[in-house]
Structure 1
Amino acid sequence: MLWACILFPQLALDSLLRERDDRDAPLVLLGGPSQRRVLQSVNPAAAALGLRAGQTLTAARALADGFTCLEVDPRRIDALQQLLAAWAYRFSAQVSLHYPRTLLLEVGSSLQLFGPWPVLQARLRQELSALGLRQRIVLASNPVAARMLANAHDGLALEDAASTRAALAEMPIDRIGLRPEDAQAFSRMGLRQLNHVLALPRDALARRFAPQVQLHLDQLLGMRNLGLAFFEPPDRFDARLELNFDVESHQALLFPLRRLLTDLAAFLAGRDCGVQRFKVYMEHAQGSDTQLDVGLLAAERDPAMLLELARGRLESVRLKAPVRNLRLVAEDLPPFVPQHKALFDPRAQQAQPWEQLRERLRARLGDQAVTGLSALADHRPEQAWQANEIGQWSSLCVAPGSRPGWLLATPTVLEEQAYQVQGQAERIESGWWDGGDVRRDYYRIETREGLRGWAYRDLGQGGPLWLQGWF
């Protein structure tokens, strides 16, 4: 088995930065008691001002000005870790959150599907960077070794137990996961690296230290297994985003909405499913939430398409009050079947697949504005079709070119000199059983502009022809 450890060294800060559109502004993350606030982490812009982790807030304000202070929210970090575990479930069925700020994945059985480890690692880094998260990734032969090696390495790949043990032997004694008091005791004995400790007799080590020390060393070397609880993805997606200020325009809501939909797409990819219906709740300081329902005719999980559909529906909603928070809930998660595409796509570069165009039209014009058509077994043209939901196709076969594809809502009179009759008349007599009796002679006509139409004259009556449709 091969285990990948993904360590997020700045998870708390990244969880806040990924939700802001001013990531390049100086930001610091605060912690500690209210009497002595301490800077827990800083972004690069704040570090350029001379701020660093461990400083007190008083000292930081005396040193620089113009930086934003953010608070640590454990609930936000927990929710983000659950999302990351759901995302990682796409690459492995064995995903664990045993260590804080860390994902453990068994990837030995996934390499045949996703390619060799360098390819898979590059894909993991690319998708995590798109989520706005910094990471350190290490591959080792057991999960404990992978986690401890991530303390000092990034990008290290050890695919067997021997190379893993050799890399662990060079690790400092205070970076291998021992309790601080045990690591300090080893240091006082002059044992600075793990290989110094491993050179000691096991019985002497057992007499001097608690059993947990030997157990941890055995698990680190893969001699004993670590009991891991594996993640199981939930059946619904529910994420909430607290905005930094009251939002009064639709345009300002697009950035946080894009972040929520990107997280939803990562969740869907981990479950190998799509979304067909989701709800966006716009929470206000007072009063009930404004609810936005987004429904699709087929399951999708492309974040750009989901944002386009949500944006079209959002622009038609009137905000009754400034928006304080956003919440996205998705419970209808059917299996996702990717669209099959040809190797050489004949469509123009700017052309859209019919499915995406259909959903964009429904989002812009409304659900009832775009419908499907089905043919009925009736000779009367105005009764030979009916509107229905898209996807409910008719099984009635109609000969191509036998009927016009565009019927006018109301027939119009044709001028005598504006057309020429083509061929013989087709007589239709039908509808006596339902009160819509029709007795007509139909003609194919061609106008001087070259347009081909379908016109009729009631049986036994003279006069001009009535245009009913265009071919």
Structure 2
Amino acid sequence: MLWACINLPHLAMDGILRRHPVTGPLVLVDGPANARTIVAANEPAHAAGLHVGQRLSAAQALLSQFEAMAYERESADRWHRFLAAVAYRYSSEVSLLPHAIVLEVSRSMGLFGPWPRLEAMLRADFTALGFRHRLAAAPTPHAAQVLATVADGQAVQGADALRRALQGVPLAASGLPAAAIAALPGMGIRRLGQLLALPRDGLRRRFGAELPAALERLTGERPPGLESYRPPDVFDLRIELLHEVENRSALVFPLRRMVDDLAAYLAGRDGGVQRFLLRLEHREGRCTDVPVGLLAPERDGVLLFEFARGRLEHVVLPASVLALRLLARELPAFVPAGRDLFDERPAHALPLGQLHERLRARLGERAVYRLSGTTDPRPERAQAVAEGDHGHDEPSPRPTWLLTHPVPLRGPPPRILAGPERLETGWWDGAEACRDYYVVETSLGQWAWAFCPPGEQDGWMLQGWFA
């Protein structure tokens, strides 16, 4: 087996920075109000001398101008689970470890290629989402976590190679029980290799069963004992804005980030979304809901963003917006559209369904519609706007583009391609019509649907055009 570990040393800070880009010093603080302590700091804060574990009061004495935000454990946990759902795209065995995600990839390499290629794909996904990370691979998940902590990019396979890789790891980075890490240096044990060489019975007598069990999980002598992670069937993401927003254009950037997260989540599930809700939160608990519905499941981030932005552009904000929430409760299976090997369509041509959704998002729900047939045989009354999105799609000998009223067909006599089709109807309502219809080709090469009086081929009247 081969386990990959994605170590996330700056999970909480990256979760903040991807929503609220900050260029100056920023720290996250936790603890009682009178003893706030720094638990995370960005690069400008580190450069200014602020560090993890420092009291907030000491940091304020050292640096007068910096931004401090409360550390939210629930928010960090949500990002942790979200990234596990992204990693689920590459393996069905995904587990959560403190500040890390592990996934079994030996079977995945048959689909995604050898480890260097799979590693590059994982890095690309996490970098695009804005989360800094360290990657390593090893025969056990706990060993992969240890290697990712001490050095980015390591990949070892086999028990002998694993023991060699663990030889020089400091005990502080081993992930072993804290009591043992504190006591072992007093015995002259400072490296993991020294500890692995000691008899397990002696360790068990001195430290109990917890330390030998941790070593056996590290080397693969004992099952890892991890709980498998499964992505939930609902996507729910909420972003609080830094200030009240009164202009729709200011919502585009957070909307793009939320939709990209939705697309990454869907890729991890190998699914799509057909309906989701964008909720704009105002003061006093008021909300404005913007539903986004598609003709078929999609998961392309660019398309989903364009559809959502198109719906948002038609919304009149009743009040300033404090937060955005994206909720998708229905996540059906996604089947990519197939294309022939020698498909002659242009590279950027859109399928009809996507074009339909793009036009509806830009022009409005009623601006794009389908036509359905009626029971009236007269061409000018034979079509009506279809209810819903289920119009008549079967091929027809009549053109889709029918004129409201027939007009004379100018120019030289057309060439008859098919016909005649005689229509004699309308006697019941005083609008009687008796005509012979033909499919004709005009002198300009256009295909038209035209008619003449019965038994004649003169005085052509144009009724419609073929595409």
After superposition, what is the alpha-carbon deviation per residue over 1:250-270, rounded to whole angstroms, capped at 9, x for unaligned? 111111111211111111111
Correspondence for 2:465: 470
Secondary structure class of the residue paired with 1:419: coil
- Is the CA contact 1:423–1:443 (under 8 Å) kept in the aligned structure 2? no
Maintained 8 Å contact 1:421/1:446: no
Aligned equivalents of 2:420 and 2:177: distance in 1? 94
How far off its partner does 1:38 sit?
2.4
C-alpha separation in 2, matches of 1:96 and 1:242: 29
1:103-122 mapped onto 2 (5 Å cutoff) = 103-122=101-120
Q: Could you tell me which runs of 5 or more consecutive residues in structure 2 were left unpaired when the two chains were aligned.
A: none
Given the alignment of the two structures, is residue 428 of structure 1 paired with residue 422 of structure 2, yes or no?
yes
Q: Which of 241, 244, 253 is matched with 2:242 structurally?
A: 244
Alignment of 1:219-238 (within 5 A): 219-238=217-236
Report 1:175-194 matches (<5 A).
175-194=173-192
Distance 1:87 1:284 in 2: 31
Q: Which residue of 2 aligns with 1:88?
A: 87
Report the equivalent of 1:11. 11
Is 1:79 the equivalent of 2:71? Answer: no
Deviation at 1:199, TM superposition (A): 2.7
Contact 1:422/1:443 (CA < 8 Å) preserved in 2?
no
Moved more, 252-261 or 196-205: 196-205
Whole-angstrom CA distance in 2 between matches of 1:81 and 1:387? 48
In structure 2, what residue type is equivalent to 1:205? L
Most deviating of 271-280 and 73-82: 73-82
Aligned to 2:38: 39
Residue equivalent to 1:407: 402
| Greater mean deviation of Cα atoms: 32-41 or 366-375 | 366-375
Residue 136 of structure 2 is aligned to residue 138 of structure 1: yes
TM-score, normalised with respect to structure 2:
0.89
Query: Within 2, Cα distance between the matches of 1:301 and 1:457?
Result: 52
Specify whether residues 146 and 431 from structure 1 end up closer, same or farther in structure 2 by C-alpha distance, changes over 3 A only.
Answer: same
Aligned-CA RMSD value: 2.9
In structure 1, the partner of 2:319 is 321
Aligned residue in 1 for 2:148 = 150
Matching residue of 1:129: 127
Shift of 1:154: 1.1
User: In the alignment, which residue of structure 2 is the partner of 1:438?
Assistant: 433
CA distance in 1, matches of 2:438, 2:345: 36
AA matched with 1:91: Y
Write out per-residue CA displacement over residues 133-158 of structure 1, whole angstroms, 9 at most, x where no aligned residue: 01111111111211222221211101
Alpha-carbon distance in structure 1 between the residues aligned to 2:427 and 2:70 = 76
Aligned pairs (5 A) from 1:392-403:
393-395=392-394, 397-399=395-397, 403=398
Alignment partners' CA distance in 2, 1:93 and 1:52: 38
State how far apart, in whole Å, the 2-side matches of 1:361 and 1:350 are. 16
Rounded to whole Å, the distance in 2 between the matches of 1:384 and 1:172 is: 82
- Identity score, percent: 46
- DSSP-derived class of the 1:171 partner: coil
Name the counterpart of 1:200: 198
Matched to 1:324, the amino acid is L
Deviations 1:44-70 (Å, cap 9, x if unpaired)?
Answer: 233333333333333333333443222
Q: Is the 8 A contact 2:424 2:435 kept in 1?
A: no
Please state how far the C-alpha of 1:25 moved relative to its aligned partner: 3.6
Deviations 1:265-298 (Å, cap 9, x if unpaired)? Answer: 1111111110000001111112521000000001
**Secondary structure of 1:316's aligned partner:** coil
1:201 is displaced (CA, Å) by 2.7
Residue 26 of structure 1 corresponds to 25
By how many angstroms is 1:117 displaced?
0.6
Contact map agreement 2:427 2:433 (CA 8 A) in 1? no
Is the 8 Å Cα contact of residues 237 and 331 (structure 1) preserved in structure 2? Answer: yes
Output the CA distance in 1 between the equivalents of 2:37 and 2:353. 52
Tell me the secondary structure at the aligned position of residue 179 of structure 2: helix
- CA shift at 1:466, angstroms? 4.7
Contact 2:163 2:193 in 1 (8 A): no
Q: Could you state the TM-score of these two structures normalised by the residue count of structure 1? A: 0.89
2:413 aligns to what SS in structure 1? Answer: strand
Deviation at 1:95, TM superposition (A): 0.8
Larger deviation: 319-328 or 145-154?
A: 145-154
Q: For the Cα contact (< 8 Å) 2:372–2:392, is it kept in 1? A: yes
1:431 is matched by which residue type in structure 2?
Answer: T
- Superposition deviation, residue 162 in structure 1: 1.4
My pick for the range that moved more, 432-441 or 292-301, is: 432-441
CA distance, structure 2, for counterparts of residue 177 and residue 315 of structure 1: 51
1:387 shift after superposition: 4.0
Tell me by how many angstroms 1:299 deviates: 0.8
Residues 394 and 201 of structure 1: CA distance in aligned 2, closer, same or farther (over 3 Å): closer
Structure 1: gaps spanning 5 or more residues: none
Is the contact between residue 455 and residue 469 of structure 1 (CA under 8 Å) also seen in structure 2?
yes
Residue 427 of structure 1 and its aligned partner are, at CA, apart by 6.0
